[in-house]
Amino acid sequence: MHLATGVARRLLVPIGVGLLIVTGGTVGLVVATTGGRPADPHPRVSSTRPAAAASAGAVVPLLGTSADANRAVPAVSASSAASGGSSAPPRVAPLHGLRQADLLVVAPFSLSGHVLAAVSRLPGVTSADPIEAAKVTINGTPAAVLGVDPSTFRGYAAGPTAASDPLWQGVADGGVAVSYTMGTLDRLALGRPVTVTGRQAERLRVVAFGTVGIGGVDAVVSDSVARSLGMPAANGIVISAPLASVTALAAQIKPILPRGAGVEPLVTLATAPSQAGVPPSEAAGSAGLTTAQLTAALRAAESRQGLPYAWGAAGPAAFDCSGLVEWSFAQAGVALPRTAADQARTGPAVPVSQLEPGDLLFYHTDPTAPGYISHVAIYLGRGWMIQAPQPGLRVQVVPADFGAQFAGAIRVSPRIAAAVAGGLA
């Protein structure tokens, strides 16, 4: 689930959503479905996702890079089970306007009301709402999932998604809304149950394919379902501060947080013709790859030709698109972030006319978020690129594509890449 001119300020701005498919109702332009799945899931290139959870069945925070981040999550009693219960689900409140989701706080434990209150009082913060945020599995595939109060959280979503009463009521009723890319690439069936596993497993009905608008999020459930999965209650806070400097606000939030919690800008990219690259002010003075690093990264990528695509995989024997990029550059000693949208922030933009081997090429491929960068490839030179394309295909060298889905290119700066990967940029 994904999300302008935000490259410069890393702000989330709701963008137009071209497609929203919901059981029981539809908003926006709808494509044909076959067996509950869109008939044409854009076969050429794929989406990206966060790295896999630390262990199967474990609930792992979305953020947090400290030693505390992977500690055992305390057991949380469920206020209601997703698969049943005698009480009727709440009716979802109507949408009362959109809010810009700018920052996400996540901890591997429940955050106190004092933290929420302190964050809410900071200058520039217009709203701050508690959520659950964790990596679990959906039918065995690692997924970043949010647990939310549908009535209050819907305002943070992309416009048509936010406006869909059937989607949010379906979530309130105990279902799961998944991203278009996850639904198609993992071949999930709309209206059918999936097994969602955290500290314990639940069978949840897929109520919608649609984009929430927050990068890296694969699915949304209600907060009661999240707790039944074992997510720590209210271990996250989504923050709107549309007029504030996100970097400055994040610096103010960090001292408020308990040890082990983290805060991260919600990276989004605009629907401009070229979205990739950091602002010139950030790129100034940043050296690119050395010849040795460039050679090592390209050799590593080319050595993976013929290996299978696996959504969420980052090597060494299987890859998704951003996993191939991350692994290849790691072999050259260059740390890159995990997702394509974040990898687009790891260096200055490069015009097509000035492309060099090792530059990264980015693409829009998610029809529910046409402005979001959801695919990445490595330029090899002379009009060729290497990519991990989609399920059923293998890592391949193909002609570089500069068509309608092309979002731009960047030249990796190890310094900027390390800062983004460390959550410091």
Using DSSP, state whether 384 is helix, strand or coil. Answer: strand
Half-sphere exposure of 340 (CA within 13 A, CB side): 37
Looking at residue 109, what is its pLDDT? Answer: 93
The rounded percent of the chain whose pLDDT value lies above 90 is: 49
The dihedral sign for the CA sequence 412, 414, 416, 420: positive
Backbone angles phi, psi at 182, to 5 degrees: -65, -45
Alpha carbons 282 and 218: distance in angstroms, whole number: 30
At 312, the pLDDT band (50, 70, 90 cuts) reads: confident
The dihedral sign for the CA sequence 42, 43, 49, 54: positive
Alpha carbons 173 and 91: distance in angstroms, whole number: 9
Residue that has been written with the tokens 């690093």 in this structure: 293
At 72, the pLDDT band (50, 70, 90 cuts) reads: very low
Judge whether residue 414 has pLDDT over 60.
yes
What is each CA distance from 194 to 60, 75, 80, 212, 276, in whole angstroms? Answer: 20, 23, 18, 19, 35
Alpha carbons 240 and 107: distance in angstroms, whole number: 18
The residue with greater pLDDT, 398 or 182, is 398
Specify the pairing of strand 201-209 against strand 193-197: antiparallel
Alpha carbons 361 and 354: distance in angstroms, whole number: 12
The residue with greater pLDDT, 330 or 80, is 330
What is each CA distance from 389 to 54, 305, 367, in whole angstroms? Answer: 25, 12, 17
Check if the beta carbon of residue 208 is closer than 8 Å to that of residue 166.
yes
Q: What is the pTM of this model?
A: 0.64
Judge whether residue 24 has pLDDT over 80.
no
What pLDDT, in 10s, does the model give residues 99-124? 988 899 999 999 999 999 999 999 99
Q: Comparing 74-83, 208-217, 304-313, which segment has the lowest mean pLDDT?
A: 74-83
Judge whether residue 78 has pLDDT over 70.
no
Looking at residue 278, what is its pLDDT? Answer: 63
Looking at residue 141, what is its pLDDT? Answer: 82
Check if the beta carbon of residue 44 is closer than 8 Å to that of residue 390.
yes
Of 238, 65, 72, whose CA–CA distance to 148 is shortest? 238
Judge whether residue 306 has pLDDT over 60.
yes
At 341, the pLDDT band (50, 70, 90 cuts) reads: confident
Q: Residue 285's CB: how many other CB atoms inside 10 A?
A: 7
Q: In the beta sheet, which residues pair with residue 137? A: 142, 197
Q: Comparing 58-72, 127-141, 410-424, which segment has the lowest mean pLDDT?
A: 58-72
Q: Comparing 59-73, 122-136, 259-273, which segment has the lowest mean pLDDT?
A: 59-73
The C-alpha torsion from 216 through 133 and 113 to 265, rounded to 10°, is: -10
Q: In the beta sheet, which residues pair with residue 311? A: none
Residue that has been written with the tokens 């490069």 in this structure: 350
Backbone angles phi, psi at 134, to 5 degrees: -160, 160
How is residue 393 written in tokens?
A: 């295909």
Element (H, E) at 313: none
Of 138, 118, 145, 137, whose CA–CA distance to 61 is shortest? 145
Check if the beta carbon of residue 400 is closer than 8 Å to that of residue 384.
yes
Average predicted confidence (pLDDT) for the chain? 76
What is each CA distance from 15 to 260, 270, 369, 370, 371, in whole angstroms? Answer: 32, 8, 7, 8, 7
Looking at residue 253, what is its pLDDT? Answer: 96
At 188, the pLDDT band (50, 70, 90 cuts) reads: confident
Looking at residue 398, what is its pLDDT? Answer: 94
Looking at residue 374, what is its pLDDT? Answer: 82
